[in-house]
Chain A
Amino acid sequence: MLIAIAIMALGAVVLGAALGFASVKFKVDGDPLVDKIEAILPQTQCGQCGYPGCKPYAEAIAKGEADINLCPPGGAEGVGKLADLLGREAKPLDGVEKPPQVALIDENTCIGCTLCIQACPVDAIVGAAKQMHTIVESLCTGCELCLPPCPVECITMEPIQETVDTWKWKYPVVELKRVA
């Protein structure tokens, strides 16, 4: 187990360096419009827009090949921002907006087949072959791509609960009970 972790850590370091290099290399010929569009997309990488990730969808929008209302995780707010950026009319979302969610593995049922790891686009799942797998909640984008490959169907999606730290003050439309 320790060796496995060490190998994974080493791999992460080496590949991380490669990634750093690649990101520097790829930055050079980035299209500024694509970058701006991509910055609005939520990076869930779920493919619901019909493209294999947020960047391809951003490229398609930039080329005028795709409409701006195809990203359900971005929701109506995302469509509005894209419309603002591109000077187009906002339109209703083509798809269903869901509340933010994360995947949860039933660790007693998991058989450690690693299929979900391969499916997860953002490396949010940790585990080694034949060992129980776990989803790192803070890294999971809720894309649902790990659900279909799991042979024992032990992954479920759970809505993200509001906590004291993520709670937001509400817009003061209706006067709540006031203190002062």
Chain B
Amino acid sequence: MGLMQLFKFKGGVKPATNKAQSVTLPIAKAPLPSVVAVPLHQSIGGTPRPLVQVGDKVLKGQMIGEADGWISAAVHAPTSGTVREVGMYAAAHPSGLLTDCVVIEPDGEDRWIERQSVDYKTLTPEQVRELLRDMGVVGLGGAVFPSHAKTQASRSVPMEELVINGAECEPYITCDDLLMRERAAEVVKGIAIFRDLLQPKKVLIGIEDNKPEAAAAMAQAVQAAGEDFQVVSVPTLYPAGGAKQLIRVLTGKEVPANKRSTDMGVQCFNVATAYTAWRALGHGEPVISRLVTLTGNVAEPRNYEVLIGTPMDELLAIAGPKADTDGIIMGGPMMGFLVPEAKAPVVKATNCLIAHSPALFPPKAPEMPCIRCGSCAQVCPHELQPFEMYWFARAKNFGKTQEYNIFDCIECGCCSFVCPSRIPLVQYFRFAKSEIWARERDKKAADGAKTRFEFKQLRDEREKQEKAEKLAKAAAAQAAKKAAEAAAAAAAEGGAPAEAAAAPAAQSPEEAAAAAKKAAIAAAMERAKAQRAQAQPQNTDDLAPAQQQEVADIEARRARLRDIAKTELAHPEAHPAEAAPAAPADDGQTPKN
């Protein structure tokens, strides 16, 4: 412990930590809430499919939403009871919008499903990953990325370090601290699961040096378990708990924005995630609760083990919010947000609820113009230029914000924190990012619509052509039949319709279509000719002399007609569509594309 060489990340700030308030009391279990509303979509990736219906009785730990893909994680009933609603319910989201939830009325018995612990070492890595997904194990540090999808090493780069994040750098939040103090042995067992899946050379547990009790507890647990994990104290500097920052501090590696950390031979998990992974495999308990710090403007700040789905207002009431509380912040003061709807449920990403009061968070004086002092750039842990991004975001010049790498911004709030002009920089960045995402969605939709539109036009065109060809064939066959059967009168009339039909066909504007048509016509004529040739001998068998005379007459007239046709073919301008019967009259308006 401590002998390791540490690296530094750029920037960072030191806000008042405000952690002492909530660490004096041990973790307590929050009482069973009156209702639990479990959002189906609680992790990055897909939205789990609901498995229950209104009226169903569910048991604690029963899967109620099944992962709908690889990057997705199941959700479970946090307690036993009756499903009251499967539908829209307040979301733990800055928008205040609703989201798909399973709302359960607890029956008070808190009765578990049958829990089975598995010896994961007897399973294949694939099976372990599937199990983690079906147990709903996701990153509890705030990013809620499905953990199983992070447990595969890169094929080409050997895994060097597994970084375990116990830094907990955000002010006010102490749930990871208490978890490590009280449940270190199980955190270590969870880390071993990730270690076994990824097989790194080293395991480094990073804990900010303002949590010596947690670090000591972890070191002891590591030793007791006979593991070779290193517990490393890192300097307290916000945002040391950012995955990229902690990786940098512990390994010296910079993970570029466009790369996965496994491509650099390193991976990072939060301590609470490791804990839930162990509870899932070792105890058969899916992720149905988590530790939440209740703090801020409350009588008794403390950490609670809270069922997912517990209404936030009901939960905060346990800690005794003071009279002037006027809101709830989910997360910390740097990266959290004011919850628009107090009954919104605790989700897997909820690590802390802070009772907000004007005294605790005095409203800032109005924003002043940027004086280009550069303080924001100095503290930015991602070496961005916040004032430039701000300038362009403010002017809604989103292309430029992207040139300044706005998507590398982790919204840590360091820049806003130091800005002497009190500019809400992060708000401008969030605004710009969501506008860019919306534009990208629109663009994708428009491109898809364009492709399908062109496809449909092409198809319509083809169908029209096929129809034309069919009509041409039918007409040619008809004409051939007529010619074969007809007697003298037929011969006289035969030329007329051909010429009459010739005119409309001349209007076709499309060269390609015309060429295709010509080919079709030629083919049709060939076939008609062949048919005629075949038909003739049959017709002339066993004929009476009078009939033979008739046939001879017809042949003679035909020869004359053929001569006329030949002369006309030599002057196509005069009769542009020699193949009249093949050109359907309704084909004049082929759409020009």
Interface residues of A (CB under 8 A from B): 15-16, 18-19, 22-23, 26, 38, 41-45, 52-55, 120-124, 138-139, 141, 162-164, 166-172, 175-180
Contact = CB atoms under 8 A, between A and B. Distances in A.
Given A163-B97, A180-B361, A168 B438 contact: yes
A164 B452 contact: no
Interface string B440-461: 0110011111111111111100
Contacts of A169: 94, 427, 430-431, 433-434
9 contacts: A15-B462, A19-B451, A23-B454, A38-B450, A52-B591, A164-B41, A168-B434, A178-B363, A179-B336
B9 interface: no
Contacts of B99: 163-164
Contacts of A180: 333-334, 361, 413, 416-417
Nearest to A45: B453
A43 B449 contact: yes
Contacts of A124: 452
A124 B91 CA distance: 30
A121 B427 contact: no
B455 A15 contact: yes
Contact of B458 (A22, A120, A122, A171): A22
A168 B431 contact: yes
A43 B97 contact: no
Contacts of B131: none
A89 to B, nearest CB: 20
A66 to B, nearest CB: 16
Contacts of A22: 454, 458
A167 B449 contact: no
| List of 9 A-B pairs having minimum Cβ-Cβ separation, nearest first | A43-B446, A168-B434, A167-B95, A169-B430, A172-B427, A43-B449, A122-B452, A19-B455, A43-B450
**Interface of A, helix, strand, loop or mixed by DSSP:** loop
Contacts of B455: 15-16, 19, 123
A121 B431 CA distance: 34
B481 to A, nearest CB: 33
Contacts of B93: 164, 167
A122 B449 contact: yes
Contacts of A43: 445-447, 449-450, 453
Q: How extensive is the interface on chain B, given as a class?
A: 35 or more
Contacts of A164: 41, 91, 93, 95, 97-99
A53 B592 CA distance: 12
Given A19-B458, A43-B447, A139-B452, 4 more contacts: A22-B454, A42-B442, A122-B456, A172-B427
A171 B431 contact: yes
B424 interface: yes
A123 B430 contact: no
B485 interface: no
Contact of A15 (B356, B430, B458): B458
Given A139-B448, A169-B434, A122 B338 contact: no
B120 interface: no
A170 B453 contact: no
A177 B451 CA distance: 44
A22 B437 CA distance: 31
B285 to A, nearest CB: 28
Nearest to B340: A177
A123 B458 contact: no
A76 to B, nearest CB: 14
Interface string B413-436: 100110000001001101101110
Interface in B314-348: 327, 329, 333-334, 336-338
Contacts of B213: none
Interface centre among A15, A122, A141 (most CB of B within 10 A): A122
A15 B466 CA distance: 14
A121 B446 CA distance: 13
A114 B532 CA distance: 42
A41 to B, nearest CB: 8
Contact of B449 (A139, A162, A172): A139
A22 B462 CA distance: 12
Contacts of A44: 449
A95 B196 CA distance: 64
A175 B454 contact: no
B89 to A, nearest CB: 11
Contacts of B445: 43, 138, 141
A167 to B, nearest CB: 4
Contact of B424 (A52, A139, A167, A175): A175
B550 interface: no
B364 interface: yes
Contacts of A122: 448-449, 452-453, 456
B369 interface: no
B435 A168 contact: yes
Contacts of A26: 454
Contacts of A139: 448-449, 452
A112 to B, nearest CB: 20
B563 interface: no
Contact of B97 (A55, A121, A167, A178): A167
B65 to A, nearest CB: 16
Contact of A166 (B424, B441, B450): B441
B424 A19 contact: no
Given A18-B462, A22-B458, A122-B449, A175 B366 contact: yes
Nearest to B15: A180
Given A121-B453, A180-B413, A167 B434 contact: yes
A81 B416 CA distance: 32
Contacts of B459: 15
A123 B435 CA distance: 28
A175 B366 CA distance: 8
Nearest to B416: A180
B215 to A, nearest CB: 28
